[in-house]
Amino acid sequence: MSEKDHKVSRRQFLTYTLTGVGGFMAAGMIMPMARFALDPALKAGADSDYVPVCFVEELTEEPQKFQFSFEQTDAWYESEVTREAYIYIRENTVTALSPTCTHLGCTVSFGSNDEHPERFYCPCHFGMFEKDGINVPGTPPQRPLDVYDVLVEDGKVYLGQINQRT
């Protein structure tokens, strides 16, 4: 290669310099804006806290309905969310079931059907679940009721996120 091939003209030097400085300045402006826009999404995972719901001594082997509320931050909006869970204790294990029917999302209730007092019943399409939330074959729901993460500490029951069972 000759020396002439490596020569940078004044115009090229100016173009490279301005492009570099312009890019640096643009990054300086865009990065804070991008961080501000993504911040709630980046923090979303941090809000998987457990919420106190009841005391262990209140629980029986029969699923009982408990209501609980917590603050939820959805992007930039904060709101109070109320949820329900059917909670029972068997062999020292606490289980919390979501009352949302896994067929099409209606709300199930335990013991409300006189013919099946030991089951969860969904009035929308006559769906049924056993006491432990397992779907009854031959009824519309194709999978069990979802379960909450459960934490028991100092005699209190805390619920976390809801998990799907297969």
DSSP 58: G
Q: Whole-number minimum distance, CB 104 to ligand FES, in Å?
A: 4
The dihedral through the CA atoms of 79, 82, 85, 89 has a sign that is positive
Instruction: Please give the radius of gyration of the chain, using alpha carbons only, rounded to the nearest integer.
Output: 28
* 124 makes contact with ligand FES (CB under 6 A): yes
- Lay out the sheet containing 109-110: strands in order across: 109-110, 120-122, 127-129
- Give the shortest CB-125-to-ligand FES separation in angstroms: 3
Least distance CB 103 / ligand FES (angstroms): 3
Stretch 32-71: interaction string toward ligand FES, x if CB under 6 A: ----------------------------------------
Q: Is 127 in the site for ligand FES (CB under 6 A)?
A: yes
Q: For ligand FES, which stretch binds (CB under 6 A), given 4-12, 66-74, 122-130, 156-164?
A: 122-130
Q: Using CB positions, name the residue nearest to ligand FES.
A: 127
Query: Residue 113 corresponds to which amino acid?
Result: N
Closest to 152 in 3D by CA, of 47, 45, 57? 57
Q: Within 10 Å of residue 25's Cβ, how many Cβ atoms?
A: 10
Pick from 121, 161, 163: nearest CA to 146? 163
Q: Which stretch binds ligand FES (CB under 6 A): 9-17, 24-32, 61-69, 102-110?
A: 102-110
**Binding stretches for ligand FES (CB under 6 A):** 101, 103-106, 122, 124-125, 127, 140-141
